[in-house]
Amino acid sequence: MNFYDEVYELCKKIPKGKVSTYKEIGKAMNSRAYRAVGQALRNNPYAPIVPCHRVLNSKGELYGFNGKMNNKNLKDKEKLLLKEGVKVKNNKVIDFEKKLFKF
DNA sequence: CGCTTGACACCGT
DNA sequence: AACGGTGCCAAGC
């Protein structure tokens, strides 16, 4: 189990309708490598399996999903979030702290 | 082996 | 409140 896989496993554990943060994931694996977590998700070889769109920055914002990267799928991911019950407004999650999933 | 690069976070202006 | 510098850790080159 390398670092990346660890990240993916944790992401998969995030229940539907909940979100998490890079920091939490880092803490969950006894590390402060929240940056490396970002790299793992950015690669994301398990595209549909790993719900990388449920991982946000500490402010509860979609960082690099909808504005910076121009993947069309990412647009759908926001829709997917809404469908799961996570309200997204201007790339920010409403009631983020309430929906935050801790490991 | 060492320098650079990030889907970040924290703290000081 | 917004912005910028610094620290963090793993990967790539």
What chain A holds in terms of domains, given with CATH numbers, is 3-95 (1.10.10.10)
Share of chain A above pLDDT 90, in %: 74
pTM of the model: 0.91
Catalytic residue among A11, A25, A52, A88: A52
Does the structure show a pLDDT above 90 at A96?
Answer: yes
Q: Please report the pLDDT score of residue A64 as a whole number.
A: 85
Query: Residue A100's closest CA among A61, A66, A73?
Result: A61
CA A87 to chain CA centroid, nearest Å: 14
A11 a catalytic residue: no
The distance (Å) linking the CA of A36 with the C1' of C7 is 14
pLDDT digit string, tens, across residues A46-73: 988 999 999 999 999 999 887 665 566 6
User: Which strand C bases fall within 7 angstroms of a protein CB?
Assistant: 7-12
Tokens 């983020």 label which residue?
Answer: A96
Average pLDDT over residues A25-43: 93
What is residue A53's DSSP assignment?
G
